[in-house]
Structure 1
Amino acid sequence: MTDLFCSAQQADLVLRGTITGKDRESYVEVPFEVGASVVRVTVDFSYTGRDQHTTIDLGLFDGERFRGWSGGNKSWFTVSETDATPSYLPGPIRPGTWKLILGVPSIGDGVKSEYVATIHLQRSGEAPAASTFSRAPLRAGAAWYRGDLHMHDAHSDGSCLSQSGAKVPCPLYKTVEAATARGLDFIAISDHNTISHYDAMRELQPYFDRLLLIPGREITTFEGHANVYGTTEFIDFRLEKGHVSIDDIQRQTEKLHGMFSINHPGLPSGSACMGCGWAAKDTDYSRVGAVEAINGGTLDGPMSGVAFWQEKLNRGFRLTGVGGSDNHNATMDPQAHSAVGYPATVVYAAELSERAILEGIRTGHVFVDVQGTRDRGIEFTAQADGKTVMMGDAIAPVAGANVHLVLTMNGLEGAHAEVIRDGEVTTLLDASVVKEHTETREFDYEADGKRHWVRVNVRAADGALLILGNPIYLNL
């Protein structure tokens, strides 16, 4: 006998029942209803009597077909159109009557086993509590977390050499291995337009439990490329008359709680490189979360995204500058441009979870380590009227007020810092060489009451960019 209880929001189901000796060597069906707007079904199953050698196996049918069998090796699983826990099949979540299948290979005479199946029915646009592929944060506590936001594998145009030396589509796990070897904390796999790679990410996340896997995809259009992070649902990329507009794409991303980040906007477009640079008319930059200021293929060269990004900052848009390797071969030399983690985006986040990392990016608590090292970094703060803020934050000093700025640099011996205000290098900070592993520089700025932004670069002796910092905003 089974009782069915629905939560007040009709989003969660709790199925309870009793298994007895009469159910031994049989399959018990436990039906439940899935509504029309559901995009993911997640089951958490438990039962009593294990200490009496009771065993209950677990499987699932939807209203049309078999969706998986995990036997006794999993007490939790999830299925969606794009991904599913190993043992289960991804596929459309069609409304109707679904069934848990409880196999009972073992239960003693006179023994009763009480089971509970808690089912969460995720609806379109709901954001995960922590991460798409992990139920809890991988690491607790606020810290600077290092990652790569732009990579490709066999699910799009990533390739590498096979065991026999042939060029083949490069399996996704090679990218994850390379990120682990580099010491990264998070990565986003951003294959072109497809959403097929999420199932592989779902399988890999439990093993790589120190590396957060964030769902991404590169919306690749004839008018520009943009990464979308934080959702696995399909977003139509066909940017042309008769299909979708850039407004449609941005609104859909927003509806799904995703983050929209423009890629390599400084590249040429048109026949030279169709859609590589950003040329999408009517882009609503208030809906853009980030801009790839540093791409592994261009770094700080004339085709980097820095000029594009800073022009938007000067227009009053608070866009976070990020970096991405744009890696297409996970096995390449780690010290080569565009190797996994070269560059790395470093995010100050409340914890190592998808939600926290994306929130850290949205708020601009970010710098880019251009060479993807393990320890180079900066902290840049401003203080005025008793308020202290960090990169990405804003303060509003009145004209004549003193703004005290503090830059701390780590692992940057031999380099020098430069302060950028509204896109121009200033003399607010001298360019003397950093001598210590950890070194702090302080300087003051007299506010004029107008809108400005101030950020920091750190460069090597030869001028190569090592660190790109995000702005602190004044009166914006």
Structure 2
Amino acid sequence: MTDDQVWTITGAFDPGAPDWHYLPVEIPEGVREIEVVYRYDRPDVPPGVKGNALDIGVFGPHEQFRGWSGGARDRFVVNATEATPGYLPGPIEPGEWQIILAPYTVSPQGMTFEVDVTVRFGLDGPAFQPNPAPARAPQADRGKSWYRGDGHLHTIYSDGRRKPEELVADARAAGLDFIVSTEHNTPSAHLQWGDHATEDLLILNGEEVTTRTGHWPAWNLPAGTWIDWRYRADDPRQLQKFVDEVHKSGGLVVAAHPFGPCIGCTWEYGYESADLVEIWNGPWTLDDEAAVIAWDGLLRAGRWIPAVGNSDSHTHGDRVGLPHNVVLADGLTGSQLMEGFAKGRNWIAESSSVQLEFTATAGGTTVGIGETMKTDPGTPIAIEIKASGAPDTHVRILDHHGPQWGGYVPAEGATIMWTTQSRYSKWVRVEIRREEPTPTTRDTMVALTNPIFFR
């Protein structure tokens, strides 16, 4: 038995350091486990100046991804049987491994770091046995129906605080039919969802691809699929390469929190490669209002990207399902849900108590959210909105000319009618708002729909 070997690597970053810095480590034959511990200095900085923050991950030989924890933890362990959440269990292949350091922000004083790498020798333990989530949740599958789901969620497998079983419990309590697991930059959570799955909640695999110029949840990935994140918006070919990977696997690309007020969170890629845009992220705030205004502007310019809303829940205090999607699908499978989202057959709700129906009828034909109605220019189109579970709110009807007053929703609910024609309205969408200020907005969004279009 060979004693453990320990190496310490030191270095420094100046302000403006590259996004990715690699520390090569030669792993000899016979290693059964790698442990990495890192630390860096955090000097005081004046108000308005960003301090030091350093992310970490690791690649095995031949650029084989083995894990990422960002700045969520200061150490990780990988062996054949188990790994720290965010990392992938598996045999330790000899050769050159790369510890990846990613300076998120660097203070004006610079940043010094130390990385301790410990290798332990011996025979591998039992091989890790992946147990991904089942492809179906039969108790929740109602055939063609409206399904509720939250598509942006985190656990201890990236920078969240919930254990997977806690997230499942909270999603069920929120009245959801499905969730998408979207850990930052790693698929490690995919491999264990089967340990926590229930027959009344579908769990889809995803990844929040967290680049330095925008985040994009990839939805409906095959279990274990990893999508690279080492590029910026100044090289759109890189983004398209990985978008194509997601599409080939049957998934969709979501432009997340496009005006998120944190470093790297704002969407800088443009929307050419996005299938969906997350215009409502967590409790209603000013950046959500900005996202809705920008999305509405795209609609007015004749460009529609279906809207979604998700909680982006990280901590136990972040309510799962605030907000969530209500999507029309032919059944509760990943491919059927993705088809519904891609068609824009979706509206967004603050909770499962909110019920909304939105249709347009003309000449004996009725269409719903995300659909297109073809009529003669002078034919009246009857817009009908049924809202309940949203007491003391008001309905706002919007077309490409701007917002119209819809009406008040009392405790018992309301049915609101409005009439237009295709020569007046290119599309119509609906918002429900509560006259309740937040710390950054004058009111609070309760529900929001994708448009119905008229031709």
With normalisation by structure 2, the TM-score equals 0.64
The answer to whether the 8 Å contact 2:385/2:417 transfers is yes
The answer to whether the 8 Å contact 2:259/2:287 transfers is no
**What is the CA deviation profile of residues 439-467 of structure 1, one whole-angstrom value per residue up to 9, with x for unaligned ones?**
222221022177x2210111224442211
Counterpart-to-counterpart distance in 2, 1:242 and 1:407: 44
> Matched residue of 1:351: which SS?
coil
The answer to whether the 8 Å contact 1:294/1:300 transfers is no
Out of 223, 226, 236, the residue aligned to residue 216 of structure 2 is 226
Q: Which residue number in structure 1 is paired with residue 309 of structure 2? A: 323
Q: Which amino acid aligns with 2:263?
A: M
Counterpart-to-counterpart distance in 2, 1:135 and 1:147: 14
The alpha-carbon distance between structure 1 residues 184 and 423, as it changes in their structure 2 partners (threshold 3 A), is farther
What does 1:415-434 correspond to in 2, within 5 Å?
Answer: 415-422=393-400, 424-427=402-405, 429=406, 431=407, 433-434=408-409
**What is the CA deviation profile of residues 101-151 of structure 1, one whole-angstrom value per residue up to 9, with x for unaligned ones?**
xxxxxxxxxxxxxxxxxxxxxxxxxxxxxx972257442323222221111
Deviation, 1:184, is: 1.5
Q: Which residue number in structure 2 is paired with residue 214 of structure 1? A: 204
> Matched residue of 2:153: which SS?
coil
The answer to whether the 8 Å contact 1:266/1:308 transfers is no
> Matched residue of 2:322: which SS?
coil
1:237 aligns with 2:226: no
The alpha-carbon distance between structure 1 residues 173 and 436, as it changes in their structure 2 partners (threshold 3 A), is closer
The answer to whether the 8 Å contact 2:213/2:264 transfers is yes
Out of 352, 376, 383, the residue aligned to residue 398 of structure 1 is 376
Q: Which residue number in structure 2 is paired with residue 446 of structure 1? A: 421
Q: Which amino acid aligns with 1:222?
A: R
1:133 aligns with 2:134: yes
Q: Which residue number in structure 1 is paired with residue 433 of structure 2? A: 459
**What is the CA deviation profile of residues 280-334 of structure 1, one whole-angstrom value per residue up to 9, with x for unaligned ones?**
15x42xx4221111100554656652123222223333322111111111x22xx
Q: Which amino acid aligns with 2:254?
A: S
Q: Which residue number in structure 1 is paired with residue 54 of structure 2? A: none
Q: Which residue number in structure 1 is paired with residue 157 of structure 2? A: 155
Counterpart-to-counterpart distance in 1, 2:173 and 2:135: 21
The alpha-carbon distance between structure 1 residues 307 and 449, as it changes in their structure 2 partners (threshold 3 A), is closer
Out of 274, 277, 281, the residue aligned to residue 266 of structure 2 is 277
The alpha-carbon distance between structure 1 residues 358 and 246, as it changes in their structure 2 partners (threshold 3 A), is same
What does 1:143-292 correspond to in 2, within 5 Å?
Answer: 143-159=145-161, 170-205=162-197, 208-232=198-222, 233-240=225-232, 245-268=238-261, 273-280=262-269, 283-284=271-272, 287-292=273-278
> Matched residue of 1:420: which SS?
strand
Out of 394, 414, 418, the residue aligned to residue 392 of structure 2 is 414
Counterpart-to-counterpart distance in 1, 2:336 and 2:403: 32
**What is the CA deviation profile of residues 36-90 of structure 1, one whole-angstrom value per residue up to 9, with x for unaligned ones?**
xxxxxxxxxxxxxxxxxxxxxxxxxxxxxxxxxxxxxxxxxxxxxxxxxxxxx98
Please, what is the CA RMSD of the aligned residues?
Answer: 2.7
Counterpart-to-counterpart distance in 2, 1:314 and 1:361: 21
Out of 316, 331, 344, the residue aligned to residue 351 of structure 1 is 331
> Matched residue of 1:245: which SS?
helix
Counterpart-to-counterpart distance in 1, 2:289 and 2:238: 26
> Matched residue of 2:240: which SS?
helix
The alpha-carbon distance between structure 1 residues 187 and 302, as it changes in their structure 2 partners (threshold 3 A), is closer
1:468 aligns with 2:448: yes
Counterpart-to-counterpart distance in 2, 1:186 and 1:343: 13
1:364 aligns with 2:344: yes
Counterpart-to-counterpart distance in 2, 1:390 and 1:288: 23
The answer to whether the 8 Å contact 2:258/2:266 transfers is yes
Deviation, 1:387, is: 2.3
Q: Which residue number in structure 1 is paired with residue 13 of structure 2? A: none
Unaligned runs of 5+ in 1: 1-88, 93-130, 160-169, 333-337
Deviation, 1:415, is: 1.7
Q: Which amino acid aligns with 1:228?
A: A
What does 1:61-72 correspond to in 2, within 5 Å?
Answer: none
Counterpart-to-counterpart distance in 1, 2:176 and 2:403: 31
Out of 291, 297, 302, the residue aligned to residue 311 of structure 1 is 297
Q: Which amino acid aligns with 2:353?
A: D
Q: Which amino acid aligns with 1:460?
A: R
The answer to whether the 8 Å contact 1:148/1:345 transfers is yes
Deviation, 1:412, is: 2.3
The answer to whether the 8 Å contact 1:148/1:344 transfers is yes
Number of residues paired by the alignment?
Answer: 319
Out of 263, 286, 295, the residue aligned to residue 281 of structure 2 is 295
